[in-house]
Amino acid sequence: MSVLVDVDTRVVVQGITGHQGSGHTLQMKLFGTKVVAGVTPGRAGTQVEGVPVFDSVQEAVDRTGANASCIFVPAPFAKDALLEAVDAGIRLVVIVTEHIPFHDMLIMYHYAKERGTRIVGPNCPGVASPGKAKVGIIPNVVFRPGRVGVISRSGTLTYEIVNGIRENGLGQSTCIGLGGDPVVGTSFVDALPWFENDPDTDLLVLVGEIGGTAEEDAAEYIRQHFTKPVVAYIAGRAAPAGKRMGHAGAIISRGKGTAQSKQAALEAAGARVGRFPFEIPDLVSEVLRERGRR
């Protein structure tokens, strides 16, 4: 078992003929993912990295049985790409595209949710479960199969932490990058139950950042429902109020969304919160040792 993706995941790449789309199609395949189709309107009949390209997601689904999508199309067209995926019956959509207007995402989120399609992202690295499948852009090299689950709002920082876990001799069950936008398809609170119920996950790493109250919501969920150990890191202690720190969602506004508030909430919920990213892999090892899992 794993979270969101597994060996039955069959990926269609929307925007496969672009630079990012084609490059990451190769990487997903190298990870072992079944990338079965690509979509770029007007490019049907061609191939990218050995993957057949179709004009529409519906055709891709009909012809290849695709059940997950990875969206690389530019922001102005992302809403349409998502609607197309949902209407074609795709159940998991990872949106890598950044700079999607949040007003578009509000529509995308509710449209998908009401039809039972799960969105991860936008502006996110995606989902990977080593040995099974990857939908997104997390670098393959940082992974190795194991029993640590990871949920994160950032990209590179997560790669670094996941890599550190690997270097410490451990591996990951599933890693989900939620994305740094204010409106995301999957939040910590959405993803926590999956890891709670995943028999392959022993411990969860939560990587948060300033802005919003997603980490506080997560802490409340952890306090009430989550039984596995949690190690957390929150980026942005040094960020001033009112400035967007790279991510559209990373902003302390009107006194809400500080790193301090998030750290305190997670600590109160029993999580071990690291001060430095490089502490996290060590904390993971330590907690697992304490619990006798290692």
Q: Which residues are catalytically annotated? A: 247
Of the candidates 214, 162, 224, the one whose C-alpha atom is nearest the C-alpha of residue 188 is 214
The gap from C-alpha 9 to its chain's centroid, in whole angstroms, comes to 15
193 binds other proteins per the rule CB under 8 A: no
Smallest gap from residue 249 Cβ to other proteins (A): 7
Using CA atoms, how far residue 85 sits from 15, 116, 181, 185, in Å, is 12, 12, 21, 14
Which stretch in 1-9, 168-176, 191-199, 246-254 sits in contact with other proteins by CB under 8 A?
A: 246-254
Q: Which residues within the stretch 158-187 sit at the binding site for other proteins (CB under 8 A)?
A: 158-160, 163, 180, 182-183, 187
Helix orientation angle between 188-196 and 214-225, rounded to the nearest 10 degrees: 30
In the complex with other proteins, the residue whose CB is nearer, 155 or 198, is 155
Smallest gap from residue 292 Cβ to other proteins (A): 29
In the complex with other proteins, the residue whose CB is nearer, 17 or 198, is 17
- Give the integer Cα–Cα distance in Å for 261 and 133: 35
Q: Determine the residue type at 81.
A: A
Smallest gap from residue 8 Cβ to other proteins (A): 26
DSSP string, 91-140: SEEEE------HHHHHHHHHHHHHTTPEEE-SS--EEEETTTEEEE---G
Residue choice 45, 50, 240, 292 for contact with other proteins (CB under 8 A): 240
Residue choice 176, 250, 252, 287 for contact with other proteins (CB under 8 A): 250
- Cross-strand partners of 10: 34
Smallest gap from residue 196 Cβ to other proteins (A): 19
**CA dihedral of 73, 74, 79, 83, whole degrees rounded to 10:** -10
Distance in angstroms between the alpha carbons of the first and the last residue of the chain = 21
Alpha helix ranges (H) inside the chain:
19-31, 57-64, 75-87, 102-114, 156-167, 188-196, 214-225, 259-268, 279-290
100 binds other proteins per the rule CB under 8 A: yes
Smallest gap from residue 88 Cβ to other proteins (A): 9
Place of tokens 């990871």: 150
Which stretch in 2-10, 97-105, 168-176, 283-291 sits in contact with other proteins by CB under 8 A?
A: 97-105
107 binds other proteins per the rule CB under 8 A: yes
In the complex with other proteins, the residue whose CB is nearer, 228 or 244, is 244
Residue choice 55, 62, 196, 286 for contact with other proteins (CB under 8 A): 55
In the complex with other proteins, the residue whose CB is nearer, 99 or 291, is 99
In the complex with other proteins, the residue whose CB is nearer, 227 or 254, is 254
Q: Which residues within the stretch 126-165 sit at the binding site for other proteins (CB under 8 A)?
A: 137-139, 141-142, 152-160, 163
In the complex with other proteins, the residue whose CB is nearer, 200 or 211, is 211
Q: With b meaning 16 or more CB within 10 Å and e meaning fewer, what string describes 208-221?
A: bbbbbebbbbbbeb
At residue 162, φ and ψ (nearest 5 deg) are -60, -40
Q: Going by DSSP bridges, is the β-strand pair 126-129/172-177 parallel, antiparallel, or unpaired? A: antiparallel
Total residues interacting with other proteins, rule: CB under 8 A: 75
Q: Which residues within the stretch 29-48 sit at the binding site for other proteins (CB under 8 A)?
A: 41-42
Smallest gap from residue 279 Cβ to other proteins (A): 10
